[in-house]
Structure 1
């Protein structure tokens, strides 16, 4: 990782509380799950990753959590379009001075 990338990462990581990072469903599937194992959880059981409550304390994370939840609707017509996601992220980038 080059110096400028480290600086940006260090700056970003200092903004948010640090916690143990885990892959989604780490407690429900093996460390290298098959597509079938993941399909059962996501498609059949309709499980979604947890969005931590503390994300509400930071505007950029609050918006990201909202986008994520709106992309998880079972009805495809109700989900956000790629263009809507792009516009929302572009606006967030400007308002919050977030580099994307």
Structure 2
């Protein structure tokens, strides 16, 4: 962010110099320099924005993958617990009845 603030300050300074141009060769050179700087800044900003979009898409894909793995893991744990509970119910059903001699 500091780099962007510094660049913005440089661009503002260049823009302030434009009204002082009187149409001579020096003024044309200054305009050429400023347009080159502006073009470079725009290209770099475009590149940074594209990188940010790619990073955002990668983050989104990673989150979706983690959510999918989390759901699959929860389903596997549920299935294991349900199987164990069914096994215990079956074992309890096979136990002989207790008789209390009252």
Answer whether TM exceeds 0.5 for this pair.
Answer: no
Bigger CA radius of gyration = 2
Query: What is the TM-score with the length of structure 1 in the denominator?
Result: 0.30
More helix by share: 2
